[in-house]
Amino acid sequence: MNKGVLLSFLFIITASLIPAQEGGTFWDGIFRNASFGRPFWADMHSTMIRVETAQATNSPDYDWEGTGDDYRFFAFANLGVDIPLWSGNFAGGKYGFSLSLPFALDIWWDRYEWITSPVINTSYRFAAFDAGFIHRLDSPLTLGRGFSFYNWALKLSLLKHESTHIGDELTIVRRDRGMPITRVDVLTNFFEFIFIINDPDNVPRLNHGFKLGFLFNYNFRDGWYTILESEADPAYVRSSRLPFEFFAQYQFQSALFSRGLQVVMSAEYRLRERYRYAYDGTNMGAINKPNPVSCFNIMFGIRYDNQSSGYFSKVGLALRYYYGINPYGQFRSMPEYRQLGIMAIFE
């Protein structure tokens, strides 16, 4: 933590000595939104606002009604924001730099349970800061029909924090039923690096964008999660072993049509460890060895772009399909989780 704070301080001091853009000063870039570095739709840990209703894989881990259904309808919300600290362009807009504070809160609740609609899981992520850089080509490089190379970019976070919590009602039910695992404390600090080709850069053009990302967990001793013996039987839990995640993303956006509409297709592939504790208290297959699993998140929809440079200037509606490890909180020991839903998106 001290290293992250020190590096943040050094970055701000260094940036204050250079202009925010040609003909301006550093102070002109304070609290200004950057046009680049924003998340793709399919980013599983997004700083956008998203609300979704979906049919998803049911599990004894959170099916307190005891329906035994293979799939049920749930509701999901992602409340995110990337608070701008500073951004600026140089060399006539050829280069750009940014500094921001990202924060995101994920909520999964049983909206269609008719008595209380209880929360299943909440998760939050934030960073000491995200630093971004973009290099825009002087002129687009055409590589094929419909594909042009406009820019490349980087995004770096030296210290991000994640914490997740299951709902109080679910905790009580799991305790009352004597399940071997009541609660797992998913709590970690990690490094994240993202390389981007063809960042959309808030330009309403036909664009094919690509991202490659890498996460590295600083918590060598505890891994991605810990347990208390009062909340979980240690015989059902092993420490995580893989201190990294890898992801690749692709996003297509069409040119504007019909006064501001765009077609958007977005996909993410993520390789992550299946957490090594028993699923539903009985399946021990996850705990005996590291188990990296491929996870896929695919979205297709339409966006309205009012061409503003600020936040929430774009509104979208999309279909989403997810397959892989359950991506929510302590349920990441659950394999072959599926989710199909419809989502509203506010960028």
For the chain, the domains span 2-346
Task: Give the residue among 78, 155, 84 at the shortest CA–CA distance from 122.
Answer: 78
Phi, psi for 329 (deg, rounded to 5)? 55, -135
- The superfamily in CATH containing domain 2-346 is Phospholipase A1 (2.40.230.10)
Nearest Cα to 306, choosing from 239, 243, 260, 240?
Answer: 260
SS3 190: strand
Distance CA 250, CA 43 (A): 10
Q: Is the pLDDT of residue 224 over 70?
A: yes
List, for residues 177-196, the tens digit of each pLDDT value. 989 999 999 999 999 999 99
Inter-residue contact 332 to 121 (CB < 8 Å) = no
Q: How confident is the model over 190-204, as a mean pLDDT?
A: 97
Position 16 scores a pLDDT of: 46
Of 228, 242, 199, nearest in space to 40 by CA? 199
CA atoms of 18 and 11, how far apart (whole Å): 11
For residues 335 and 312, the answer to whether their CB atoms sit within 8 Å is no
How large is the average pLDDT for residues 145-157? 93
Least Cα distance to 167 among 239, 103, 227, 111 occurs for: 111
With cut-offs at 50, 70 and 90, classify the pLDDT of residue 21.
low
Residue 244, pLDDT above cutoff 50: yes
Distance in angstroms (rounded) separating the CA atoms of residues 134 and 34: 10
- The CA distance from 266 to 55, in Å, is 20
Does residue 1 have a pLDDT over 50?
no
Q: How far is CA 322 from the centre of its chain?
A: 14
Determine the straight-line distance between the first and last CA of the chain, rounded to whole angstroms.
30
Q: How far is C-alpha 299 from the chain's CA centre?
A: 14
Token pair 């290099």 in the structure block, residue: 135
Residue 288 DSSP one-character state = S
Yes or no: say if 185 and 225 are a contact pair by the CB < 8 Å rule.
yes
Query: What local confidence, expressed as pLDDT, does residue 307 receive?
Result: 77
- In this structure, what token pair is assigned to residue 130? 């995200």
Of how many residues is the chain composed? Answer: 347
Backbone angles phi, psi at 234, to 5 degrees: -60, -20
User: Which of 97-111, 153-167, 226-240 is predicted least confidently?
Assistant: 226-240
Instruction: Indicate if the pLDDT at residue 339 is higher than 80.
Output: yes
- For every residue of 129-185, DSSP letters joined together read -EEEEEEEEEEEEEEETTEEEEEEEEEEEEEEEEEEEE-HHHHHHHHHTT-SBS--E
CA nearest to 150, candidates 161, 158, 139, 164: 139
Cα–Cα distance measured from residue 63 to residue 70, given in angstroms and rounded to the nearest whole number: 10
CA distance 241 to 290: 6
Q: How confident is the model at residue 316 (pLDDT cuts 50, 70, 90)?
A: very high
Q: Which of 312, 310, 322, 296 is nearest to 344 (CA)?
A: 312
Instruction: Please give the pLDDT value at position 281.
Output: 57
Whether residue 2 is predicted with pLDDT greater than 70 in this model: the reply is no
User: What is the distance between the alpha carbons of residues 319 and 13, in angstroms, rounded to a whole number?
Assistant: 44
Over 60: is that where the pLDDT of 10 sits?
A: no
Mean pLDDT for 313-329 is 96
Is the predicted pLDDT of residue 47 greater than 80, yes or no?
Answer: yes
| Statement: residue 225 has pLDDT above 50 | yes
Secondary structure (3-state) at 268: strand
Whether residue 11 is predicted with pLDDT greater than 90 in this model: the reply is no
20: left (phi over 0), alpha (psi -120 to 50) or beta: alpha
pLDDT at 58 (0 to 100): 94
Give the DSSP H or E segment for 73.
Answer: strand 71-90
